[in-house]
Structure 1
Amino acid sequence: MWKFTIRRLLIAIPQMFLLSLLVFFMAKSMPGDALTGLINNPDLPAEAVQELRVKLGLDNPWYIQYKDWILGALQGDFGNSFTRKMPVTELIGDRIWNTVWLSAMSTVLIYLMGIPLGIWSGKYHDTLRDRMITGYTYIGFATPLFIFALLMLLVFGFMLRWFPTGGSVAPGLEPGTWDYIVSKIYHLILPSFSIALIGLTGTVQYLRSEIIDTKQKDFVRLARSKGVSEKRLYNNHIFRNSLMPIAALFGYEITLLISGSIFVESIFTYPGMGQLFVQSITTRDFSVVTALVLISGFAFIIGGLLSDIIMSIVDPRIRIK
């Protein structure tokens, strides 16, 4: 187990290095640089601008600039925002936890709803119950997330007025109080359900297919021929083996939710990293965009690492000898 984890970590390190190089050169090819976010006076003499450029190391060779940039990023320093005139780290820090909580709540809802639906659909396949569940998953696969989120906002936010239509917490509440926590959760319900009701379709279909396939395997037939009860057969043999693909996708699920929340956060004006990403692209705030791309890329690599480790625990056969 430990050998597999160490090998997988060693593979992830060069992946992160290559990703950081890609993001760095992408930033270098874009108009503007770190100095753009520091100049407040457009009439500043060219000599003063050049002096600042030398002071910031922007005239250094690319490999020295990369070294300075990646060392700063590892310490949490991504430079300054071009448009907001503030440190990128401070700007992202205000929003990252909102996205984390939204993704976490969406993940919980996906598994709370998706696993029972997948089990029922697989256990009772080719019945009316199965056709209703698979019919919903087909509709979910065909429905874009932003269309579904707009529909949820229209119905439950504006028409029924059951949930707030924007923000992450009611104004005027003091952080850390019980009212503040309740308001945070209340503002999370509608956007997280919008993500979960579409995101669970993959979980349901994966689990349904695995259960139907596992029911037909020889070890299940053997256990049934020995008189094992159907309840015990499903709990100890079929369900346990069918959950392996779901466990393997857990790490990827979290990181995909972080990227997928871009549309939902924009629609619900939820102040998270997704909304910040869209705003930064619109205003061409490239220092913020590159920081968010780097963080998201690292999250995907870590998610893949987490999925591999979980899968190696669930199914030891895949471990590298």
Structure 2
Amino acid sequence: MMWFVARRLLHAVPLLFCVVVLNFVLIAATPGDPVTILVGDFPAPPGYVEQVKREFGLDQPIYVQLMRYLGHVLTGDLGYSFANRQPVSTLILGRLAATLELTLTALLLASLLGIALGMLAARWRGSWLDSGVQGIASTGYSIPDFWLGQLLILVFSIWLGWLPSQGNMSVRGAPEGFAGFLDHLRYLLLPALALSFRYLALIARITRAAMLEVLSADFILAARSRGASETSVMITHALRNAAAPVITVIGYNLGFILAGSALIETVFGWPGIGRLLFDSISRRDYPVMMAILLMVSVTVVLANLATDILHRAIDPRVGDR
């Protein structure tokens, strides 16, 4: 297992290097000038503009800026935010907890409900329940996240007035104790549901397909002939043997759900990294953009590594393929 993990990590190093270089080149080639953010909208003397460029290294050729950026990344320095006037690492760490709370809640919700719906659809294949699950899956996979978020705000916040539509806490401050926890859940529910719906639909479809394949196997018939209960057959025998593709889709979507939180955090005013990325794009705050893209890339690589390790634990033949 250690050699298997080491090989995966060795494969990840050149991949991350290519991602860092590609992100830098693409962002540097985008239209716009970050100096306008640093200087401001008012007319500035040319000498002052040149001084700002020298201060932040923007007067150097692109390849020199790239080499300098790679050196800083290797030492853990993610740069300095043009728009927020503070180190990028400090800025991201201040938003990280909110994003992890939203994305992990959404992924947990999508995983639990998606697996449950997929199992029910496979158990009663061809029934109205199966048709309903497939309909929900097709709809959820087709609806854009940000549009679903706006619909949820319109229904539950504006029309019904049940849940808040913006932020992650009341402007008056959260109550203490369990009441504060419940109040925070009211702010978390809508964005987590909007972010999870697409992945819930995908997990439900994959679970249903994998379960149908396993339920037709001979060992399932043997388990039923031995008098095993239907719950034991579905969970102990069928779901365990159908877990590999389900784990794959959950693990591979961990990084994508982190990247996809940008629009949801913007729609709901959630103070996380996704909202920070959206604001940084509009402000041309290149160091923040590159740092967030690097963080998402690392998350995808680590999620894929964790998925491969789980596959190896389930099936030891994975590492020999």
TM norm. shorter chain > 0.5: yes
Q: Quickly say closer, same or farther: Cα 1:166–1:318, change in 2 above 3 A.
A: same
**Aligned match of 1:142:** 142
Q: Distance between the aligned counterparts of 2:124 and 2:201, measured in 1? A: 17
Q: Distance between the aligned counterparts of 2:179 and 2:224, measured in 1? A: 54
CA shift digits 1:208-230 (9 cap, x unpaired): 11111111123333444555554
Q: Quickly say closer, same or farther: Cα 1:29–1:198, change in 2 above 3 A.
A: closer
**Aligned match of 2:205:** 205
Q: Quickly say closer, same or farther: Cα 1:292–1:184, change in 2 above 3 A.
A: same
What is the count of residue pairs matched by the alignment? 321
Gaps of 5+ in 2: none
Return the offset for 1:31.
5.3
**Aligned match of 1:68:** 68
Q: Distance between the aligned counterparts of 2:300 and 2:99, measured in 1? A: 15
CA shift digits 1:127-151 (9 cap, x unpaired): 1221222222122222222222111
Helix, strand or coil at the partner of 2:70: helix
Return the offset for 1:277.
1.9
**Aligned match of 2:246:** 246
What are the equivalent positions in structure 2 for 1:169-184 lying under 5 Å apart? 169-173=169-173, 181-184=181-184
**Aligned match of 1:100:** 100
Q: Quickly say closer, same or farther: Cα 1:117–1:52, change in 2 above 3 A.
A: closer
Return the offset for 1:34.
7.2
What are the equivalent positions in structure 2 for 1:182-201 lying under 5 Å apart? 182-201=182-201
What are the equivalent positions in structure 2 for 1:212-231 lying under 5 Å apart? 212-225=212-225, 228-231=228-231
Helix, strand or coil at the partner of 2:306: helix
What are the equivalent positions in structure 2 for 1:104-123 lying under 5 Å apart? 104-123=104-123
Q: Which amino acid aligns with 1:139?
A: T
Q: Distance between the aligned counterparts of 1:241 and 1:268, measured in 2? A: 39
CA shift digits 1:269-300 (9 cap, x unpaired): 21222222222222333332222222222222
Q: Conserved in 2, the CA contact under 8 Å of 1:168 and 1:270? A: yes
**Aligned match of 1:269:** 269
Return the offset for 1:20.
0.8
Q: Distance between the aligned counterparts of 1:188 and 1:229, measured in 2? A: 38
Instruction: Work out whether 1:167 is the aligned partner of 2:167.
Output: yes
Q: Conserved in 1, the CA contact under 8 Å of 2:265 and 2:272? A: yes
Q: Quickly say closer, same or farther: Cα 1:229–1:11, change in 2 above 3 A.
A: same
Return the offset for 1:240.
1.0
Q: Quickly say closer, same or farther: Cα 1:143–1:42, change in 2 above 3 A.
A: closer
Return the offset for 1:55.
5.8
Q: Conserved in 1, the CA contact under 8 Å of 2:32 and 2:284? A: no
Q: Distance between the aligned counterparts of 1:75 and 1:38, measured in 2? A: 25
Q: Conserved in 1, the CA contact under 8 Å of 2:175 and 2:183? A: no
**Aligned match of 1:315:** 315
